[in-house]
Amino acid sequence: MTSMARALIGAVLLAAATVAAWWLWLGRDTGYQIDANGHQTGPYTTGQVAGCVLTLLVLLVSAVLAGVPALVAAAAMTAGFTAAWTAQAAATDETGLFLVGALLVFAGTAAGTSLTALVTGRLRARFIE
């Protein structure tokens, strides 16, 4: 198998795992809560978001350590997460503001995954290759 085919397969698997992680941690929760002060919060709790981020971190680092090129892995995870979040937001939003949220999710995910993947790739090159 060529390295290009391996990268493509790794990227597709990573994108699918990213969507699964989003769905398991965040995708099934659409309800809002009222806190002790009477403010509406949600739909996600801090624990859900932290769990999702940690899961994504493990997936991304594992993919890069397994040989998926860093920026390919970052792009696959960003695309998968942004698409999953946007699909649910678009289906439930009546204002059209989900597009602003989608842009923010994309920007934050792209920045976080790119930095993490590049650092992991450098460490892999230095200590494993």
Q: Strand pairing partners for 41? A: 33
Do residues 65 and 23 touch, judged by C-beta distance below 8 A? no
Range 16-29 average pLDDT? 95
Q: What is the pTM of this model?
A: 0.90
33-91 pLDDT tens trace:
888 888 887 788 889 999 999 999 999 999 999 999 999 999 999 999 999 999 999 99
Where along the chain do its domains lie? 3-127
